C-alpha cells in the first residue's frame, strides 16, 4: 500500500520539509532503498549518507536541511522509523479460523476472532483471546490463559496453567512453564523439589526462538510488561524480570533472581541464584553475577565476578601487562640474587 509523506508526518506528529506528496510504500537502509522507501539518519554524518540514497523521504534530526529530500524532523529518528515501518508494512495477520487438523478440547474457550493453525493442540480449560494467532504445531497445556492479539509462532509449547497477557509474541521453539531445575540430595539419591508454581508473562512481551522460561517451584515466575528476550535464553524458576527490560542471546538466569525495571543484560551473562539487579542497571556481555549479589540501580558492571565497569577496565589493562611485568619481576629477582651473593662473599 502506497502512502504519502504528509500522511506519515500527520501519523507521527512531525514537521515536514519538502514534498508532502512524496510516495512511501516501504522502509529500508539507505544503501538498499528505492525511491518509495523511507530511511532515517540519526546524526549529521548519517544524513550525508542518506543524501546519496535513492530514497526520497528521510527521518532526520530537527536541524537537518536538504534541497534534494523530503525530510520529516524528529529528535529521535530511530524511534520514529520503527513506528513508521510498522505503519507502512503491516503484518499479514490471518482472518479468524480453526484449521481442521487442530485438536481443541471441548472445554477450551477460543475467541471467535482467533486463528488456530494446523496440528495445534489446545487442552482442557484453555482460554484464547480475541485476534490471537496460534501457528502450526503449537501446544497449549491444560488451564492456560492467552490474552488478545498474541502470536505464537510454530512449535511453541505452553505447559499447563501458563498465563500470557495481551500482545505477547513467542517465536518458534519457545517453552513457557517447564519445570525448574531443583533437586535435594538425600538417602543416596537426588529427589526432585516440587515445581508446581505459576508463570505469568505480562502484556507486550516478546520472546525469541528456543528460549525457555521455567514456572515457579512453589511461587511465581513473572515476566513483566514490555520486556524483550532474545533467542536461546534460559530463565529459571521464581525469577522476576521488571518492565521494559532487555535480555540478549544466551543469557542464563538461575532461580529466584530478581531484575528490576529497564535492566539491560548483554549476551552470555550468567546469574547465580537469588541475585538482585536493581532498576536501570546494565550487565555487560559474559558477565558473571554471583549468587546473592546485589547490583545497584544504574550501575554498569562487567567481568566475572561482575564489578563496576571502571574497575573492570583498570584491572583488564593490568592483566594485559602481566607478561611484561613478569619479565621485569624476573629481572629484579636476578639483580636481588646477585646482590645477595655478592654480600655473602
CA–CA separation, 113 and 188 (whole Å): 54
Give whole-number Cα distances, 157 to 115, 119, 174, 255, 283, in Å: 17, 13, 6, 21, 29
Catalytic annotation present for 99: no
Give whole-number Cα distances, 55 to 34, 46, 50, 68, 89, in Å: 5, 14, 8, 10, 16
Q: Put the strands of the sheet holding 228-229 in their side by side order.
A: 97-98, 115-116, 133-134, 151-152, 169-170, 206-207, 228-229, 246-247, 264-265, 282-283, 300-302, 307-308
Total residue length of the chain: 345
- Which of these, 15, 236, 262, lies nearest to 247 by C-alpha position? 262
- The dihedral sign for the CA sequence 49, 52, 57, 62: positive
For residue 313 the three cell numbers come to: 577496565
| Distance spanning both ends of the chain, measured CA to CA | 96
- The dihedral sign for the CA sequence 306, 308, 311, 312: positive
Q: What is the CA radius of gyration of the chain?
A: 27
Q: Is 258 helix (H, G, I), strand (E, B) or coil?
A: strand
CA–CA separation, 72 and 18 (whole Å): 9
- Identify the active-site residue in 153, 161, 222, 237: 237
* Residues belonging to the active site: 237
Amino acid at each position: 500500500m502506497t502512502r504519502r509523506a504528509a500522511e506519515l508526518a500527520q501519523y507521527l506528529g512531525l514537521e515536514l520539509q519538502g514534498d508532502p506528496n512524496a510516495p512511501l510504500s516501504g522502509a529500508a537502509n539507505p544503501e538498499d532503498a528505492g525511491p518509495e522507501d523511507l530511511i532515517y539518519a540519526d546524526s549529521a554524518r548519517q544524513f550525508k549518507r542518506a543524501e546519496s540514497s535513492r530514497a526520497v523521504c528521510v527521518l532526520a534530526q530537527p536541524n537537518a536541511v536538504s534541497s534534494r529530500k523530503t525530510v520529516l524532523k524528529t529528535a529521535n529518528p530511530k524511534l520514529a522509523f520503527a513506528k513508521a515501518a510498522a505503519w507502512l508494512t503491516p503484518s499479514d495477520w490471518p482472518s479468524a479460523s480453526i484449521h481442521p487438523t487442530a485438536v481443541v478440547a471441548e472445554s477450551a474457550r477460543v475467541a471467535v476472532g482467533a486463528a488456530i493453525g494446523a496440528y495445534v493442540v489446545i487442552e482442557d480449560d484453555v482460554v484464547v483471546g480475541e485476534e490471537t494467532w496460534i501457528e502450526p504445531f503449537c501446544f497449549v497445556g491444560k488451564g492456560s490463559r492467552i490474552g488478545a492479539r498474541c502470536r505464537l509462532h510454530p512449535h511453541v509449547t505452553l505447559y499447563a496453567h501458563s498465563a500470557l497477557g495481551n500482545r505477547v509474541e513467542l517465536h518458534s521453539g519457545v517453552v513457557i512453564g517447564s519445570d525448574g531445575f531443583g533437586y535435594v540430595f538425600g538417602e543416596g539419591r537426588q529427589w526432585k523439589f516440587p515445581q508446581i508454581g505459576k508463570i505469568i508473562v505480562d502484556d507486550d512481551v516478546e520472546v525469541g526462538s528456543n528460549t525457555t522460561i521455567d514456572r515457579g517451584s512453589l511461587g511465581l515466575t513473572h515476566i513483566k510488561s514490555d520486556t524483550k528476550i532474545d533467542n536461546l535464553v534460559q530463565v529459571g524458576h521464581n525469577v522476576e524480570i521488571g518492565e521494559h527490560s532487555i535480555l540478549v542471546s544466551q543469557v542464563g538466569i538461575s532461580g529466584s533472581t530478581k531484575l528490576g525495571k529497564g535492566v539491560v543484560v548483554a549476551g552470555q551473562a550468567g546469574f547465580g541464584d537469588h541475585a538482585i539487579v536493581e532498576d536501570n542497571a546494565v550487565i555487560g556481555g559474559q558477565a558473571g553475577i554471583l549468587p546473592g549479589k546485589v547490583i545497584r540501580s544504574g550501575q554498569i558492571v562487567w567481568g566475572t565476578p561482575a564489578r563496576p565497569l571502571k574497575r573492570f577496565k583498570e584491572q583488564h589493562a593490568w592483566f594485559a601487562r602481566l607478561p611484561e611485568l613478569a619479565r621485569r619481576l624476573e629481572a629484579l629477582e636476578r639483580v636481588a640474587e646477585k646482590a645477595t651473593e655478592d654480600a655473602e662473599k
